[in-house]
Structure 1
Amino acid sequence: MSDQINVNIPLWDNPLLEIPCRAPKPLLHIIEDNYDMRMVIKNEFKDDYRIIDSEDGLTGFEKTVTTIPDIIISDIQMPGINGIKLCKLLKEDERTALIPVVLITGYDDEQDLLSSLKSGADDYVTKPLSFTILKARIDNLIKTRQLWLNKFLSESYHTPVKPISASSGDMLLKKVYEIINLNIGNPAFEATDFAQAIGMSRAQTYRKIKAITGFSVKEFIQITRLKKAAELLMNSEYNVSEVAYEVGFSSGAYFSSSFSRYFKTTPTKYILLNKGK
């Protein structure tokens, strides 16, 4: 799995544009009380994922909240907080509700399978483990997340983005957009100001936005500014410098470089390609 992802998708029906999205390897959290099994799973995924691991459900929950992994593999049979209880806790917590969870259950244990689904698990695998199947299911869930990110990047400013999966993330994203829209012309508005406006600590805000969108607060604000800029370049009489000012860039040069990095073309060329569409 490469660290460089090139997203080749049309932006507002323009096939000439490419949005580069650089991403590290996905972060996988393995929660398993059996040390040997934990190391076996870790070894199977180490080439394609960054990995953290936990030896029980409580530690797994706490570590998930602080790290916001991209995906979780958890055994069901663990002392204390078992995998089903852990999954239910994660899915009921706004900070972690959107993280995909794959549960490992006993072979043909129908009750465990039913409980897994009721707990909100995104998928499950049965013992004895087939790593070919487990890898395929993990990869599919990661691809679903990446497709969502690609769709978000390709949509216009006024297209309301939906969370990666259904949850209270809908309401939070609505509030996020309201706050950014109110401050989009303020170049001093950054992650700390955003956290204050939304009424959470900076760390808590970062974890929630990262879990819902896949981006940091700073990245999400800047991408939203650039998408607004693209709309203004297409549908207004503003020149490039005026658009930069309208979306909160105090430096025209920085705006042009940021715009070119995301949309793979300069603002001036973007106008020529899209004006009047």
Structure 2
Amino acid sequence: MIQALKKEQYSALVVDDEQKICDLICLFLSATGRFKTLVAAQNAVQAIQKLQNQTFDIVIVDHKMPGKSGIDLIGTLSKTPKNRLMKYILISGCLTKEDVIVAMNEGGRHILVKPFSRTQLLNKIGEVLKDEIL
């Protein structure tokens, strides 16, 4: 079995049109002491702008946002060579079976259903990064 190399510090981009959700996720991640960089964006346009000069280990994206959806954003980002190594988690309170299929085809293989607890979020991130971050 190949064991993933565990990093001391990670970077994360949180994209959600609800500022409170962004703040809460960033608070949860900050409290672990394992994230050196936490950046929030309110929509896909802001997320793409923030990715112009920076890459992240993980991007946590809400599905339902004004303009481009989280699935569309993941699809756009995962097709860009410099973003291919980033990991993505799609969060949503309402995903249809078709949404899940499209998300997986676009590179959003990890999904977390709202509402979720701090532990569920951190466990999902740990699974995606192949690291225990709790």
Q: TM-score range by the shorter chain?
A: 0.7 to 0.9
Is 1:41 aligned with 2:25?
yes
Counterpart position of 2:50: 63
Q: What is the deviation of 1:34?
A: 0.5
Count of matched residue positions in the alignment of Structure 1 and Structure 2: 125
Give the 3-state SS of the residue equivalent to 2:130 in structure 1: helix
Letter in 1 for 2:96: D
Counterpart position of 2:113: 126
Q: Which residue, out of 97, 119, 130, partners 1:143?
A: 130
Give the 3-state SS of the residue equivalent to 1:40 in structure 2: helix
> Considering only aligned residues, what root-mean-square deviation do their CA atoms show, in Å?
2.2
Q: After TM superposition, which residue ranges in structure 1, 4 or more long, deviate above 6 angstroms? A: none
**Higher RCO (CA 8 Å, separation ≥ 6 residues):** 2
Q: What is the deviation of 1:108?
A: 5.4
User: Which protein is richer in helix relative to its size?
Assistant: 1
Letter in 2 for 1:140: E
Is 1:87 aligned with 2:71?
no
TM-score, scaled relative to structure 2: 0.82
Name the CA distance, whole Å, in 2 between partners of 1:37 and 1:138.
Answer: 16
Q: For residues 144-178 of structure 1, give each alpha carbon's deviation from its aligned partner in whole angstroms, at most 9, with x where no partner exists.
A: 6xxxxxxxxxxxxxxxxxxxxxxxxxxxxxxxxxx
Give the 3-state SS of the residue equivalent to 2:49 in structure 1: helix
User: Which protein is richer in strand relative to its size?
Assistant: 2
Change in CA separation of 1:58 and 1:96 when aligned onto 2, cut-off 3 Å = same
TM-score, scaled relative to structure 1: 0.42
User: Larger radius of gyration, structure 1 or 2?
Assistant: 1
Q: Percent identity?
A: 22
- Structure 2: unaligned runs, 5 residues or longer: none
Q: What is the deviation of 1:47?
A: 2.2
Q: Is the 8 A contact 1:106 1:112 kept in 2?
A: no
